[in-house]
Amino acid sequence: MRVPPGVTPKDFSDAIEQWQEALGHEWVFTSDEDVDLYRDSYSPFWHEDIEPVPSSAVAPADVEQVVAAVKIANTYKIPLWTISTGKNLGYGGSAPLLGGSVVLDLKRMDRILEVNDKNHYALVEPGVSYFDLYRYIQDQGLKVWIDVPDPGWGSLIGNALDRGGGYTPLRDHFDAHCGMEVVLADGEIVRTGMGALPGSHTWQQYRYGFGPYVDGMFSQGNFGVVTKMGFWLLPEPEGFKSGTVAVRRHDDLVPLVETLNYLMNSNLVQGTTTIGSPLLASGAVRSATGGGAALVATPGGPSVEELEEIGRDQNLPYWNCQMNFYGPPKVVEAEWECAKEKYSKISGATFVEGPTYQLPYDPKDVDKLPKRQFGIPSLTIFGLMGRSEGHMWFSPIIPMTGEAVFEAQRVFGQAYHDMGVPAINQIFVFPSSFFPRSFVILCGFPIYHDVEKNRRSREVFRGLVKAAAEHGWGEYRTHTAFMDTVSDVYSFNNHALRHFHETIKDAVDPNGILSPGRCGVWPKGLRKAHA
Amino acid sequence: MRTRWLVAMSMFFAVSTPAAPDQAQVERGHTVYDKWCFPCHGTGPGKPGTDSLRQRGQNPAVLEERTDLNASMIRFYVRHGVLFMPTFRKTEISDADLDAIAAYLTRNNKK
Amino acid sequence: MTMRVPPGVTPSTFSAALEQFEKAVGRNWVFTSDDDMETYRDSYSPFWHEQADRIPSAAVAPDSVEQVQAVVRIANAYGIPLWTISTGKNLAYGGSSPALSGSVVCDLKRMDRIVEVNDKNHYALVEPGVSYFDLYRYIQEHRLRVWIDPPDPGWGSPVGNSLERGGGRTPMGDHFASVCGLEVVLASGEVMRTGMGALPGAQTWQQYKYGFGPYVDGLFSQSNFGIITKMGVWLMPEPEAYREGRVSVPKHDDLVPFVDTLSYLMNSHIVRGTMLLESPVLGYRQSQGGSVLDLPGGPSIAETEAIGREKNLAYWSMLLHFWGPPRVIDAQWEYTKEKFRAIPGASFQDGRAYGFPVELGETDNVQRVYLGIPNLSVFALIAGGQGHMDFSPIIPMTGEAVFEVLKVFGSAYAEMGVPPKNQFFALPWTFFPRSFVLLFGLPVTHNIEQNRENRKVFQRLVEVAAQHGWGEYRTHVAFMDLVRSVYSWNHHALGRLHETIKDAVDPNGILSPGKSGIWPRQLRRSRA
């Protein structure tokens, strides 16, 4: 039997017995076969001893069982690693950061408690997936849309707590939440926002409640186990349209992004937008650079002038950007017209108009629709992964300016060059506005069941984190394997923010049982070892 | 509090020997007035201080147009407030700025 | 006159602390005289002439983050309670006065630097002493193409108002939701930056809110866990145009589909900004000595509707606002009308329309906040009074909830025997997304009996609201304990979590004791 660190086998078997009593025998998993199911399917530590593997897993069915499970863990000081649906692939999946932790698997808590299509919200438990909620809404004929991240099997709660993003106007998932129920390390249940008012009628309608607004501390945190969460939904729009603007020259990106900022911050363009480069992604450039990822500017590669010339020859725009418009057809047409008018100030700007959809759509047509933009969950994204055996994401936030994109191309190009790694192996997602007012760059590292390759990938990953930090860019989220690395670069004033996190951690979870190490926050006893 | 207020009020009329303010002081006062007093006591619509004084029969109701204000009165109201006018602190309007406001608002007084 | 001292602090300790404060910020910026303390009282105190009035013992006004650190360290060393204010203009909610009489006010007004305003990514980074007027002037002087969102009184501070979770009128009206990045001085004197500010040399402190790890900004709103010394605020790009339109419906029950439609339009981001539900017919009823509220024994719905028909007054009405390019806002207004037309008898009226930049003279004063122009015209509402305090519960955004509110508060006033016409009562506002907020302005006077009466009314309103599942979004310092006490789910679990955090981050309990009902350990029992 695997045993959590610092726990005696006797204590552990006592705890297991109590969990079995509280949750039922079949919901406490201890066999290697069962526990292996909680490993990270995309672990960058395959076949290495340092892969953090859980000692067991417990799966409560309701909040009372969560309370019981947490109290038992607190009594025996056993580390629990909480997962909702455990589908956080690319960022650690269901595996704990600290090997030997017991996975607290909330998948069985999959009740959809309410969906309201007058005030447009849902209240769900952690085990509810995007697929579940989507099906429920379809079955009930409710006139609301959800917002989905790329893989639709994840949990609304899990993804929002990881501060994930989607594609519709409600794409900032944490921002779209309203009200939480949380089990604290001592087993107390707290409701936040208006939920603190007994019999409240506005738990899912007003976020803040009275006094300090605490919800944020449970995101990317290990201060409690969230057992219910409210989400704001989008009323089903009557229409949808997309349109693409393209510009010819390298430097046109600056006014392009400036205009995009204006349009997005004015609410004229809603939802995620992505900067693309038909030129850099083209076969012509790929052959000129000997491959290489489109987004990074490799030292010694073709100059901007040379690239622009290829663009002219091949009639390929240097940059483009697809925008989405949600609303009644008349309004979205007017918004698209305004967008064109604004971009037309960039000489040579051209436009491609996408189809205008009249909504609601017929469920039979689902496969013909832009699913992500319509809040329809799918697993299409996994088609991108090619021959790799998984991936992990490097995902820094950079300013939403053309200049910052240029700098990122240079900096990451140089970093790859310095590390002697051809960027060709990486999956790059161009700068995207998953969150308002900034860009995220996504760089997918392939994972293999090959120790050497993975070691090298981890080194490169750390190199990129460092290069980014030197330029004032930090990751919005990271794989469990790099949580300490990323936490380390958020070091303003001798890690003042992390010290603050630790102060709260010690106060609300003095035995340090909840998800030790999550986002670099370790309990007192384990802090030094990871400093 | 009420007693102190009355005592202070009576002092307005006893103490009024304004030294001739110099132009620089008046200009500074104008600037401070524009920042701190105009939003409530200025001309134009939406000036509750002016409206309130007008309703109470004050004519002219705009402070800048008056010739009957004196420095101690101005100081008193700024530091103590009246009706819905709150107090103003020295971190907002320093004593020197308050002197300048007084110089500005008394610039047209009969000498 | 003997020196006032903070509770539990000896005069000699206090003198020593004051001396240290003077060393830290300069002699001129430590205030102790009675005259100076007058300026730090609540100008709209509901305790005028009463012992219970909250008066500070001193005030200290640092000019920089280093001075704030020094002040906090001194307060920590000597056990002095510090009550922090930004501009101290939180009138109706306590102004500059502390919850604990005898606290030292930490007045941040001198920290009034506008560190940056960016009109490409549309944000500002400001210190707490910067007022909405200051920021507006700065933007005008530098001809930047951005709008701020001022609350009704423009002399307040974006930092202070956002931390109080105040609201404005434009699409950026939820002020705390527009916050991006904080600099905080903790009780230990340490300086912390949140969000991307935790990354040295961060390029996106004002562009991405969350940073990495637990997102703590919310902890510092309506709170006493730290002193904010810088805050990023998202701004709106200057729109091309503005227009408004009025929608009215004739019958009482029309409110249900009316609010459903409003909810649809707002949550679809077609109608944005802050609206007020109006009732011409109930307004008329009030002008005839009746009430907007449903008083027991008052006129029935059918009678009121009959008055409406006779006088040609709509039962419900709302002025909607649109910001954006002319053709977009025209299309939005057309669509809005189309949606409301589903309610039989709905009528529409085009409102004012402006292109920008607009000459100030063209706009009336009520309009200005909708155009992002700070002003003080709201005080005209209370002209003649000596102040007011606001009771402001959140209710669901449904017609049914509004009906219930009118009945419940009508009965409450009747039971108390208070004529509601003394109160300033407004139908719901949409200051925050997806819910309504009611604003009741209770008058404050310099009359002890009247204030006692009003405090009783206030207390009753809080209790009645809580019994119906409605809670206040914010309250006057005098009622913070009361409001906190109704947020009691699971034996005050959230309140106890707040206290756990308070004890951990401010073990000596020096920062704004009693803010939002959160008391440090040593003062907790005496108030329980």
**Distance of alpha carbon C207 from the chain centroid:** 24
Whole-angstrom CA distances from A240 to A275, A331, A531, C425 are 20, 10, 50, 41
CB A90 within 8 A of CB A42: yes
**The length of chain C, given as a count of residues:** 528
The pTM score is 0.95
Mean pLDDT of B29-40: 93
* pLDDT tens string A367-412: 899 999 999 998 877 776 666 778 888 999 999 999 999 999 899 8
Say whether pLDDT at C1 is over 80.
no
Contact C154 B39 (CB under 8 A): yes
- Provide the residue ranges of all domains of chain A, joining segments of one domain with +: 9-105, 112-235, 239-477, 481-530
Q: What b/e readout covers A151-174, taking b as 16+ CB neighbours within 10 angstroms?
A: bbbbbbbbbbbbbbbbbbbbbbbb
Percentage helix, strand, coil for chain B under 3-state DSSP, each rounded to 5? 55, 0, 40
* pLDDT tens string C129-185: 999 999 999 999 999 999 999 998 889 999 999 999 999 999 999 999 999 999 999
Taking the CA of residue C403 and the nearest CA in chain B, the distance in Å comes to 33
Say whether pLDDT at A138 is over 90.
yes
CA–CA separation, C377 and A131 (whole Å): 51
pLDDT band of A531, cuts 50, 70, 90: low
Chain A residues touching C241 at Cβ < 8 A: none
Could you confirm whether A387 is annotated as catalytic?
no
Q: CB of B81 within 8 Å of any CB in chain C? A: yes
CA–CA separation, C244 and C322 (whole Å): 6
CB C54 within 8 A of CB C98: yes
Chains that touch A (3 or more CB pairs under 8 A): C
Q: CB of B80 within 8 Å of any CB in chain C? A: yes
* pLDDT tens string A21-74: 999 999 999 999 999 999 998 899 989 999 999 999 999 999 999 999 999 999
Position A268, amino acid: L
CA–CA separation, A521 and A307 (whole Å): 45
Q: What b/e readout covers C395-420, taking b as 16+ CB neighbours within 10 angstroms?
A: bbbbbebbbbbbebbbebbbeeebeb
Range 99-138 of C in CB contact (< 8 A) with A? 120-123
Say whether pLDDT at A420 is over 50.
yes
Q: With H, G, I as helix, E, B as strand and everything else as coil, classify residue C45.
A: coil
CA–CA separation, C302 and C64 (whole Å): 63
Average pLDDT, chain C: 94
Say whether pLDDT at C245 is over 50.
yes
CA–CA separation, C386 and C445 (whole Å): 5
Where in C293-357 does DSSP place strands (E)?
A: 316-324, 347-355
Q: CB of C29 within 8 Å of any CB in chain A? A: no
CB A192 within 8 A of CB C494: yes
CB C375 within 8 A of CB C368: yes
Which of A128-142, A437-451, A497-511, C475-489 is predicted with the least confidence, judged by mean pLDDT?
A: A437-451
Bridge partner list, A56: A102
In this predicted structure, what is the pLDDT of residue C377? Answer: 82
Place of tokens 């006077």: C445
Interface test with A, best of C144, C217, C238, C267 (most A CBs within 10 A): C267
Contact C518 A212 (CB under 8 A): yes
Q: CB of A174 within 8 Å of any CB in chain C? A: yes
Among residues A438, A518, A520, the alpha carbon closest in space to that of A82 is found at A518
**The length of chain A, given as a count of residues:** 531
Say whether pLDDT at C519 is over 90.
yes
Measured over all CA atoms, what is the biggest interatomic distance in chain B, rounded to whole angstroms?
A: 37
Among residues C145, C252, C220, the alpha carbon closest in space to that of A342 is found at C145
Top-level class of domain C485-527 = mainly alpha
* pLDDT tens string C43-69: 889 999 999 999 999 999 999 999 999
Whole-angstrom CA distances from A349 to A260, A344, C316 are 13, 6, 48
CA–CA separation, A172 and A174 (whole Å): 6
CA–CA separation, A128 and A238 (whole Å): 27
Backbone angles phi, psi at A136, to 5 degrees: -60, -45
Query: Omega into C7 within 30° of 0, i.e. cis?
Result: no
CB B82 within 8 A of CB C386: no
Top-level class of domain C114-237 = alpha beta
CB hemisphere CA count around A68 (13 angstroms) = 18
Say whether pLDDT at B104 is over 50.
yes
Residue ranges of alpha helices (H) inside C79-233 are 132-141, 158-163
CB A84 within 8 A of CB A38: no
Name the CATH superfamily for A481-530: Vanillyl-alcohol Oxidase; Chain A, domain 4 (1.10.45.10)
Two tokens, residue C509: 């309990």
Two tokens, residue C185: 């001085």
Say whether pLDDT at B9 is over 90.
no
Q: CB of C219 within 8 Å of any CB in chain A? A: yes
Mean pLDDT of C479-487: 97
Per-residue DSSP letter, A213: -
Mean pLDDT of C122-127: 98
Q: What b/e readout covers B34-67, taking b as 16+ CB neighbours within 10 angstroms?
A: ebbbbbbbbeebbbbbbbbbeeeeeeebbbbebe
Two tokens, residue C357: 């930049």
Bridge-based pairing state of the strands A396-399 and A438-446? antiparallel
Range 406-445 of A in CB contact (< 8 A) with C? 435-438
CA–CA separation, C185 and C505 (whole Å): 11
Q: CB of A520 within 8 Å of any CB in chain C? A: yes
Say whether pLDDT at C360 is over 80.
no
- Provide the residue ranges of all domains of chain B, joining segments of one domain with +: 2-13+24-105
CATH code linked to domain B2-13+24-105: 1.10.760
C140: enclosing H helix or E strand: helix C132-141
pLDDT band of A301, cuts 50, 70, 90: confident
Position A192, amino acid: T
Average pLDDT, chain A: 93
Q: Which fold has domain C11-107?
A: 3.30.43
Position C277, amino acid: L
Taking the CA of residue B111 and the nearest CA in chain C, the distance in Å comes to 30
In this predicted structure, what is the pLDDT of residue C291? Answer: 87
In this predicted structure, what is the pLDDT of residue B11? Answer: 45
**The length of chain B, given as a count of residues:** 111
CA–CA separation, A45 and C270 (whole Å): 49
Sign of CA dihedral C426, C431, C435, C441: negative
Interface test with A, best of C481, C497, C512 (most A CBs within 10 A): C497
Range 476-495 of A in CB contact (< 8 A) with C? 476-478, 486-487, 489-493
Mean pLDDT of C105-131: 98
In this predicted structure, what is the pLDDT of residue A292? Answer: 55
Position C375, amino acid: N
pLDDT band of A278, cuts 50, 70, 90: very high
In this predicted structure, what is the pLDDT of residue C3? Answer: 76
Among residues A52, A44, A99, A92, the alpha carbon closest in space to that of A450 is found at A44
* pLDDT tens string C446-465: 899 999 999 999 999 999 99
Q: With H, G, I as helix, E, B as strand and everything else as coil, classify residue C46.
A: coil
- Provide the residue ranges of all domains of chain C, joining segments of one domain with +: 11-107, 114-237, 241-269+319-356, 485-527
In this predicted structure, what is the pLDDT of residue A392? Answer: 86
CA–CA separation, C146 and C494 (whole Å): 38
Instruction: State the Cα torsion C289-C295-C300-C301 to the nearest 10°.
Output: 90
Whole-angstrom CA distances from C528 to A33, A486, B22, C278, C517 are 53, 43, 59, 41, 10
CA–CA separation, C139 and C121 (whole Å): 14
CATH of A239-477, one of 3.30.70.890, 3.40.50.300, 3.40.462.10, 3.40.50.970: 3.40.462.10
CA–CA separation, A314 and A306 (whole Å): 12
In this predicted structure, what is the pLDDT of residue C233? Answer: 98
In this predicted structure, what is the pLDDT of residue B3? Answer: 41
Could you confirm whether A477 is annotated as catalytic?
yes
Range 445-474 of C in CB contact (< 8 A) with A? 466, 468-474
Taking the CA of residue A219 and the nearest CA in chain C, the distance in Å comes to 5
* Closest alpha carbon within chain C to B44: C361
A488: left (phi over 0), alpha (psi -120 to 50) or beta: alpha
Which of A111-115, A221-225, C68-72, C419-423 is predicted with the least confidence, judged by mean pLDDT?
A: C419-423
In this predicted structure, what is the pLDDT of residue A386? Answer: 64
How many Cβ atoms from other residues are within 10 Å of residue A265's Cβ? 23
CA–CA separation, A210 and C392 (whole Å): 11
Is A touching B (3+ C-beta pairs, cut-off 8 A)? Answer: no
C114: enclosing H helix or E strand: strand C114-118
Two tokens, residue C414: 């009747």
CA–CA separation, A306 and A481 (whole Å): 40
Backbone angles phi, psi at C390, to 5 degrees: -105, 130
In this predicted structure, what is the pLDDT of residue C2? Answer: 61
Among residues C10, C223, C1, C216, the alpha carbon closest in space to that of C99 is found at C223
Enter the ipTM: 0.96
Place of tokens 């309004």: A331
Instruction: Give the CA radius of gyration of chain C.
Output: 24
Question: For chain A, what percent of residues have pLDDT higher than 70?
Answer: 96
CB C136 within 8 A of CB C154: yes
C247: enclosing H helix or E strand: strand C241-249
Q: Which residue has the higher pLDDT, A283 or C204?
A: C204
* pLDDT tens string C89-107: 888 888 999 999 999 999 9
Say whether pLDDT at B1 is over 70.
no
Say whether pLDDT at A230 is over 80.
yes
* pLDDT tens string A344-376: 999 999 999 998 899 999 988 888 999 999 999
Asked: is A112-235 a CATH 3.30.429.10 domain? The reply is: no
Per-residue DSSP letter, A514: B
Cβ burial, residue C318 (10 Å; 0-12/13-18/19+): buried
CB A91 within 8 A of CB A393: yes
How many Cβ atoms from other residues are within 10 Å of residue B14's Cβ? 7
CATH of A9-105, one of 3.40.50.300, 3.30.43.10, 2.60.40.2310, 3.40.47.10: 3.30.43.10
pLDDT band of B4, cuts 50, 70, 90: very low
Taking the CA of residue C44 and the nearest CA in chain A, the distance in Å comes to 22
In this predicted structure, what is the pLDDT of residue A424? Answer: 60
Taking the CA of residue B65 and the nearest CA in chain C, the distance in Å comes to 20
Bridge partner list, C511: C82
